[in-house]
Amino acid sequence: MKKPILLFFLLIYGITWYVSFHRYQFQLAHPVVLDVAGLLPTKVKEIKHGETKEQLQQWVKQAHKHGEKISIAGMQHSQGGQTYYPGAIMIDMKQYNKILQYDPKAKRITVQSGATWADIQKKINPDGLALEVTQSQNIFTIGGSMSVNVHGRDIRYGSLIDTIESFRLLQADGSIIQVSRTEHPKLFSLVIGGYGLFGIILDVTLQLTENELYQNETVQMNYREYSNYFRQHVQSNPNVRMHIARISVAPNHFFTEMYATNYHLASNQNQIGEFQKLKNRDQIVALPKFFLDLARYSDGGKNIFWTVQKNLLLKQSGSYETRNNVMRAATDFMEYENPSRTEILQEYFVPVDEFAPYIDDIRKVLTKEELNVINITVRYVGKDQQSVMSYAKEDMFALVWLINQKKSADGMAQTEKVLRKLIKVTLKHRGSYYLPYYSYPSQQELENAYPRSKEFFQKKRLYDPDDVFMNFFYKEYGQ
């Protein structure tokens, strides 16, 4: 009797192994990809990791020949499917990350598009140089940042397009061209802020600036004072080089209290050597993560988080920091893993003089609707006429929202309902919204926020008539 039982168990084991192996092989052959928020899982044909120009060129030519689709990914922090598409070949650019040329005297650097801002900072900091425009975090790839045309804290520059000298573009037919303001200038305005729809950005030449020493100043105020304060004390002061603000979402000061941090050019730049070492921002994360977690799950926690955050920065007012270190904000404490919840970003742009009435209307919406807003950061973005898909039609304040929500269908539907209302309020105040997030706005709202969007999609079809480069954003609005 023992032998048949043994054979039976061996048979069951063999079948189980066979099924598991083939399921594993299927998953390898048909991977499911996610963005950082994890709300749009998508099965792609395969993921390729680009390392050489020749590889990338071959893959694009093959896709063009066989009618396949390509999507392009960096760190995948865009949250609306801009980096992938069902059944497409997703090209992961993170390994395409070499620094190709660096000229400290000319303040110029050329890097492959998969390099991160941290890679560049590490290279240029010893020479006393810094970036002109980037996000507050330096973890993103240059190609990804170009594709969404990021902006930062520096009030002298607008969006990233201001600092780009040129780049090479791998087009849908496999050809490679040099793009700048004088070579293929139309593509220059389309690709930067083009969400990977016109080709693969291969390498980029960036302008650099001096790594200045700043002394920070944090000021508390009511939201109604903010626009005038910014005009009189920030924008008109040449010594204020960078600026960031926050508005309270805590119940005790709901959309009324603010604080602003200005980075003044330090009077003695010879001191910069004492502060020049690049800081590891993520060494101590337990305490800020604790307070952030409190804010995620209770109104009382939001009050505590706001008070601690505000008082800490007020206490630090007068301290010194280099430009490169201002552009290295902490990220680890914001990492969030919860099986039933996730966090998304939204970003709305509103003209400087519309700020107070806009906040009044936003508050009216949020006192009636349920939306778990954790933090709102305010930055300034100057008018941008270069990018076809410019979000700054005039001088704008950018409000960056961090929102905690349920992953369930009901949770997603509730968030969408509220965000649609916020988008309507934003457009009412001559504003716009940032495109790297979920496709909640209607086609008409897109066209209202981005008056050249029809032209943008027409040019996409002109330069890529076979739609080799695809993503969810184009599927939703462009086809």
- Torsions phi, psi of 115, nearest 5? -65, 150
pLDDT at 25 over 50: no
Q: What is the mean pLDDT of residues 75-84?
A: 80
Compute the mean pLDDT over every residue in the chain, rounded to the nearest whole number. Answer: 91
Point out the least confidently predicted range of 137-146, 206-215, 428-437. 137-146
Q: Band of the pLDDT at 20, cuts 50, 70, 90? A: very low
- CB under 8 Å to 99, separation ≥6 — which residues? 109, 110, 111, 112, 115, 119, 120, 123
Q: How does residue 289 score in pLDDT terms, banded at 50, 70 and 90?
A: confident
pLDDT score recorded for residue 5: 62
243 inside domain = yes
**Domain-located, residue 160:** no
When divided into structural domains, the chain yields a total of 2
Q: Coil, strand, or helix at residue 337? A: coil
Burial of 78 (0-12, 13-18, 19+ CB in 10 A): buried
- Retrieve residue 239's tokens: 């010594």
Query: Is the residue at 461 inside a domain?
Result: no
pLDDT in tens, 293-331: 889 999 999 999 999 999 999 999 999 999 999 998 766
Residue 2: pLDDT band by 50, 70, 90 thresholds?
low
Q: Which range marks the domain in which residue 258 is found?
A: 213-448
Tens digit of each residue's pLDDT (9 = 90 or more) over 127-160: 999 999 988 788 899 999 999 999 989 998 889 9
Percent of the chain with pLDDT over 90: 79
Is residue 73, in this structure, part of any structural domain at all?
Answer: no
Residue 141 lies in a domain: no
Contacts of 82 (CB under 8 A, 6+ apart): 147, 148, 195, 196, 435, 436, 471, 472, 473
CATH number of the domain residue 292 falls in: 3.30.70.2520
pLDDT at residue number 285: 62
For residue 365 the two structure tokens come to: 């919406």
Mention every residue, 6+ apart, whose C-beta is less than 8 A from residue 213.
Answer: 265, 266, 268, 269, 271, 272, 275, 320, 321, 322, 323
pLDDT at 281: 56
Contact by Cβ (8 Å): 32, 67: no
16-30, 165-179, 296-310: which has the minimum mean pLDDT?
A: 16-30
Does residue 176 form part of some domain?
no
Give the pLDDT score at 21: 44
Statement: residue 19 has pLDDT above 50: no
Which of 13-17, 71-75, 130-134, 438-442 has the lowest average pLDDT? 13-17
For residue 83, what pLDDT is reported? 84
